[in-house]
Chains A and B, each alone.
Chain A
């Protein structure tokens, strides 16, 4: 025990004092904030500042559409009206688009007798969904208002009627109804799952790298003459795992402090209300530890068979497969948290930490499923520890070349 403690302490101090720890501790949250900010802002301001022309044979309709388009303050559009428009105007508009004087034009034709409207949008880019959505939305509302006023409804009433209702989502938790939002929940789950994956992988690789470094620097030969290999491995895993927990704790504390600030209050309203409960935090730590134990022992075993860090890197894609599998199912799991495949993926040990965490964030799964996934994860950790410690014991003493799979199998039998 004393050996394990000493080795864990050394490993912990070396990593925590290292540059990489400081850089990742600061940089990861910054990158997260920037990525989220960019994706939110990009969605909001996509297609903003564009210059359109609304051309219609009916001047009132054109003015109404223009008014609707201008209500979206974020979009900051510039809209001109050509009405009543004749066929000759169309060629002029086409020329304006191709000369880049305007970004596009909406050509409306309203049949005077039936009131039926046909609309054509032509612009330089055809794939701009945000613009298409905005135009169609504005046109619908304008026509609806026009028809309502045509049927004798007062203009202000017509505006109220067409305004539309925004659904406010709330989530039932612990028998209470709480403010929540689908977007906020999604981002929270996504961020936590990403953090979990990222830290598990990063610290798993760290263990592998640390083993390789001891092997290439030959320090293990001195160490093994006093310490048993299993204690050396255990100390390393505990030390580096503690570094991971420290980093997560720093982030959690920083997030906690941030959430009390005025800036957070302004950002976290409306769509961004996020609730992270205590059980979620505990489960996050548990899944981190088990996921870390699984991947780090695997990397430790593989690293012992390699001669250099470059060789170890070749194994990285192998470990990335479950991660990609979990992430490719992220939208599926979020929208169908209790479907058969979501359950299967969240029980499968290599995927469990990420997939189960996504389920927890969207809809708390039955207790037995969480328990089962933890048990399965624990069993696979035991198996990987058994496998890796054998490989490690022998592999670390071998120099010269990378072990082949048949050699590794012989080592398993041998030790």
Chain B
């Protein structure tokens, strides 16, 4: 199956700064892809090249299996990090206008806007001017504007920032639905918990370069499970076990970091001999840890 997006060694530099350097990744239909990185890493620059706002200095962008053309953009929905709506326009007029720009006729755009407003529970706001609405409402409207033309590729830059938990869940569920319907979703953020929950694949960029990419499971499997939590009662002498690099002892709860390639099972045996174990968990590294580790290493280098 052809990838919905395929970036091949794209680079972009501005006058005195390299924004993106030799970045490659692909996003398949029906997947959610996390583009991660610290602030200023080149996420927005990368997205801008995917939607034709800027052109790469070198490398190629393929959209929907074809080299980039503006025509393909009719099949892309982009929600930028910096939100913007026409303040003086009424919500419904604005949505229809956006839909028309993406090639819909006014009637279809109107019907779909109505359906979406109903689904996201903002139908009462449809007749109001945008400037009269709360930030969260405006964000939902922009969310709708992005999806109105039912794009094959959906690009969302920090889509949940500033939303309350109820609305965040509402929009997350919507995105998961769209993914199941076979849309490709690129999701750019530095909220690692959301990426971990939602994304099937990730690419971590730092200083314009892709430092880590692949499927979520595969990326995580590259990192050792070296974090152990034990809840116990009894003798804590097992904390002298040779596999342990460092630990924090909170009386009946210890947080342990293992030495590289250490054997966690022998630690479990040692602990079980001396104490009653209520919980022994070998935790896989969180994306956040991987992120900090990878980016931190590069920063030090």
* A180 → B minimal CB distance (Å): 46
Q: Is A409 on the interface with B (CB-CB < 8 A)? A: no
Known: A14-B86, A14-B88, A14-B89. A221 touches B102 (CB 8 A): no
Known: A221-B53, A221-B80, A410-B15. A226 touches B88 (CB 8 A): no
Known: A6-B101, A18-B88, A397-B54. A222 touches B142 (CB 8 A): yes
Beyond A6-B101, A226-B73, A410-B15, 5 extra complex contacts between A and B, CB < 8 Å: A6-B100, A14-B89, A218-B83, A219-B84, A397-B53
Docked pose: A6 CA to B76 CA in angstroms: 19
CB-CB under 8 A from A213, the residues of chain B are 87
On chain B, which size bracket covers the interface?
A: 20 to 34
CB-CB under 8 A from B100, the residues of chain A are 6
* A7 → B minimal CB distance (Å): 8
SS class, residues of chain A in contact with chain B: helix
Proximity bits, B60-95, A CB within 8 Å = 1, else 0: 000000000010011010111011111111000000
By beta carbon, the residue of chain B nearest A10 is B97
Give the B-binding residues of A (Cβ under 8 A): 3, 6-7, 10, 14, 18, 213-214, 217-228, 397, 410
CB-CB under 8 A from B146, the residues of chain A are 222
A217 touches B70 (CB 8 A): no
CB-CB under 8 A from A397, the residues of chain B are 48, 53-54
Give the A-binding residues of B (Cβ under 8 A): 15, 48, 51-54, 70, 73-74, 76, 78-80, 82-89, 97-98, 100-102, 142, 145-146
B86 interface neighbour in A219, A224, A227, A228, Cβ under 8 Å: A219
Docked pose: A227 CA to B98 CA in angstroms: 11
A221 touches B82 (CB 8 A): yes
* B279 → A minimal CB distance (Å): 48
What is the total of A-B residue contacts with beta carbons within 8 Å?
A: 60
A219 touches B74 (CB 8 A): no
* A307 → B minimal CB distance (Å): 13
CB-CB under 8 A from A14, the residues of chain B are 86, 88-89
B85 touches A217 (CB 8 A): yes
A226 touches B102 (CB 8 A): yes
CB-CB under 8 A from A18, the residues of chain B are 88
By beta carbon, the residue of chain B nearest A227 is B101
A3 touches B85 (CB 8 A): no
A-B contact pairs, 17 of them (CB 8 A): A14-B86, A14-B89, A217-B87, A221-B80, A222-B80, A222-B98, A222-B142, A222-B146, A223-B101, A225-B51, A225-B53, A225-B76, A225-B78, A225-B80, A226-B73, A228-B70, A410-B15
* B245 → A minimal CB distance (Å): 44
Docked pose: A223 CA to B86 CA in angstroms: 11
CB-CB under 8 A from B102, the residues of chain A are 226
B101 touches A3 (CB 8 A): yes
CB-CB under 8 A from A3, the residues of chain B are 101
